Amino acid sequence: MTNDSSAGQIVILNGAPRSGKSSIVKAVQSQFDGPWMNFGVDTYNEMTPERYLPGIGLRPGGERPDLEELVPFLYASLYESIAIHAGLGLNVVADLGHHDAYSQPLGILADCARRLEGLPVLFVGVRCPIEVIMKRRELVVPGRESLYSAATETGTVPDPVRRWQEEVHIPGIYDLELDTSVLTPAECAEAIRQQLDIGIPEPSAFERIAEAR
C-alpha cells in the first residue's frame, strides 16, 4: 500500500500499564526532530467525562459492561484525530493498551487500523515481564495512585494485572517489539528511530491487522 509522502509519521506503542510506554513517548518527544504530538490513553482520558472513565483504559475482563458500547466510538474518535494530525504533516506518538477481552469481542484494533489506511504507521509492541511490572507498581506515581493494582500481602499478582499481561499482546502482530526490562526509554526511542530510518516493513503490521477481518 502506498503511503502519503507528505503525511506525518505515526508511532503506536501498545503494552500493559507500567510497561514503560509513557517514558518512551517522552524520549521520542525530546530526542526526535520536529513536533511529536502525544495521543496516549492518559491524555485522551483527561478529556473524557469522569462518569465514563476509565474510557479507553477499560481493563480486560469485562469490568464495566455498561461502558463498552461507548468504547469503540472513543477509540474511533481518537484514531480519526491521529489521522487528521498526520494528514496535516504532524508526527504522532500514541501510548495505548489495546485488547479485545471485553464482555464480548469488539474488534477495536482492526477498526482503528483501517482508520489509518494510507498513512505511515509503525506499530510497536512494548513488552515487560510481569515481575518487573509488579515492582514498578509498588512505586507511587503522583496523581495516579488509584490507577495501579499492587501485589497482595502474599505476593500474588492481582487478576487485573495478569489479564493485561495475557490479553494486551493478542494477536501479537507488530513492526517492532521492545523489552523495557532491558532497554531504557532512550534506547527504545533510538530503536524506533532506527526502524523508521530503515522503513516500515511491507505489509505493515496495521495493514495485516486491518485485513484480518
Q: What is the pLDDT of residues 66-106, one digit of tens each?
A: 999 999 999 999 999 999 999 999 999 999 999 999 999 99
Q: How far apart are the two ends of the chain, measured CA to CA in Å?
A: 17
Q: Please report which helix (H) or strand (E) contains residue 48, including its range.
A: none
Q: Dihedral through CA 183, CA 44, CA 14, CA 2, nearest 10?
A: -110
Residues 6+ positions from 208 with CB-CB distance below 8 Å:
173
- Whether the pLDDT of residue 148 is over 50: the answer is no
Q: pLDDT grade, residue 161 (50/70/90)?
A: very high
What is the DSSP-derived secondary structure letter of residue 51? G
- Whether the pLDDT of residue 49 is over 70: the answer is yes
Nearest to 166 by CA among 65, 95, 60: 60
> Does pTM surpass 0.75?
yes
- Whether the pLDDT of residue 200 is over 90: the answer is yes
As a whole number of angstroms, the distance between CA 205 and CA 207 comes to 5
> Contact, 173 vs 205, CB < 8 A?
yes
- What is the predicted pLDDT for the residue at 154? 52
Q: Which residue has the cell 462518569?
A: 51
The one-letter amino acid code at 148 reads Y
Q: 179 forms bridges with which residues in the sheet?
A: 127
- What is the predicted pLDDT for the residue at 212? 82
- Cβ count within 10 A of residue 44: 20
Q: What is the pLDDT of residues 95-141, one digit of tens each?
A: 999 999 999 999 999 999 999 999 999 999 999 999 999 999 886 55
Q: What is the mean pLDDT of the chain?
A: 92
- Whether the pLDDT of residue 191 is over 90: the answer is yes
- What is the predicted pLDDT for the residue at 155? 65
- Domains of the chain listed by start with CATH number: 10-211 (3.40.50.300)
Mean pLDDT score, 6-15: 97
As a whole number of angstroms, the distance between CA 87 and CA 115 comes to 12
- Whether the pLDDT of residue 147 is over 90: the answer is no
